[in-house]
Amino acid sequence: MKSQFHLALPCENINETKKFYSEILGMPLGRHTDKWVDVNLYNNQLTFTESGSFDFKYKNYKLEDNILPSFHFGVIVSIEAWGTLYKKLLQSNQEVTTEVTFMENKVGEHLSFFITDPNGYMIEFKSFKSKKEIFET
């Protein structure tokens, strides 16, 4: 059975959040009010609730030669979906990290890029070379 995830997060401005996920990333919006919204992130549910100011202090960590944010969330997509979104974002005025291949020539090799949403959340989009290696050690 395939399962989907649900992640609920606070946001500072619900309208900016809706615009970023629907217009910039191209994700469909689900149920919503003037204070919260469900976002369909590749058939996974993100719920944002307008809560005003909040602060996540986080440290970075090093993976191979890359410094990555400890606090982030992401989604694993096909190489086609990854490439389409990456190209779209590069053509926009959004700040996107450069394409990186992690674990090159090792179990779990995957392409990744990060983008920050209007709330300061780091989102990672990744595509594995082999789907069977997503959880292999």
Tell me: the pLDDT tens digits for 17-37? Answer: 999 999 999 999 998 989 989
Same domain, 84 and 46: no
Same domain, 46 and 75: no
* Count of the separate structural domains present in the chain: 2
Coil vs helix vs strand at 19: helix
Q: What is the pTM of this model?
A: 0.78
Whats the size of the chain, residue-wise?
A: 137
Strand-strand pairing, 36-40 and 29-32: antiparallel
Average pLDDT over residues 2-19: 88
Give residue 25's domain range: 1-52
Cα 108 to Cα 135: distance, rounded to the nearest angstrom: 8
Tell me: the pLDDT tens digits for 60-88? Answer: 667 778 777 767 888 999 999 999 999 99
Same domain, 37 and 69: no
